[in-house]
Structures are given as structure tokens and as C-alpha cells.
Amino acid sequence: MAAKNRVKPKHIPQRTCVGCREVLPKRNLIRLVKTEDGVRVDLSGKLPGRGAYLHDQKSCWRRGLNGTLAKALRTTISEQDLTALIAYMEGLPDGGTQDEDSQAEDSSDEDHRMVN
């Protein structure tokens, strides 16, 4: 039974965004690493240490910096590092705010859903 679809053309590493928990290929994510000097953005993807991943969009970073990142890295992010990470976040596109926007716009949708 289990030996059915074993033909995999390429192995693409999948990672979880600690902001929204979405699993997707590594290249769409920004790696953050806990180094001896604190938590750093690892754009090379090669820094040694415990790593965690976040989407390159503010909504995920906000959630990450609110606690999920520190949890994933099993560390406490110092105020200094947090300031640097927030500065980095400010340069990211907003993106992915569908969840929040839909609350205002989809009020007509709820009528349909209530039929369920």
C-alpha cells in the first residue's frame, strides 16, 4: 500500500513560518537565528545556531515578535535585538492581511454562511 507514489522529482525543503504556521518552501521565508550575540536575521541562511522562519511580510513578523519567535528559538529576545528586528520588519511589505480586511468587507458573505 505505502509504496505507491514514490516518484519525487525534487526534494524541496519545507519550513514552517512561526508567524502564521504555514508550511512552505524555505526560499519564501526569512531565517532568523539565535547566535551567541542574540537573535539575528540570517539572509545567507548559513549562520550556525537554532533557526526559525518567518514570511517576508509584516503580519507574520508582528506575530513572531509578539512571542512565537522567541518561543521557537527557545530564547528571550533582548530589547536591543527586538529593536533591530522591528526596524527590519518596517522594511517589509504589508501583504497577507486578508484575515483582518475580510472582517470589514465580507459582511455580506456571512448571510450565505448562516445557511450552514
Least Å distance, CB 19 to Zn ion, is 4
Size of the site for Zn ion (CB under 5 A): 5
Q: How far is the CB of 79 from Zn ion (least distance, A)?
A: 24
Instruction: Determine the interface stretch with Zn ion among 31-39, 44-52, 59-67, 82-90 (rule: CB under 5 A).
Output: 59-67
| Contact call for residue 72 and Zn ion (CB under 5 A) | no
Residue 52 lies near Zn ion (rule: CB under 5 A):
no
The answer to whether residue 33 forms part of the interface with Zn ion (CB under 5 A) is no
DSSP of the chain: --SSS---S----EEEBTTT--EEEGGGEEEEEEETTEEEEESSS---SEEEEEESSHHHHHHIIIIIHHHHHTS---HHHHHHHHHHHHTS-----HHHHHHHHTHHHHHHHTT-
Interface with Zn ion by CB under 5 A: which residues?
17, 19-20, 55, 60
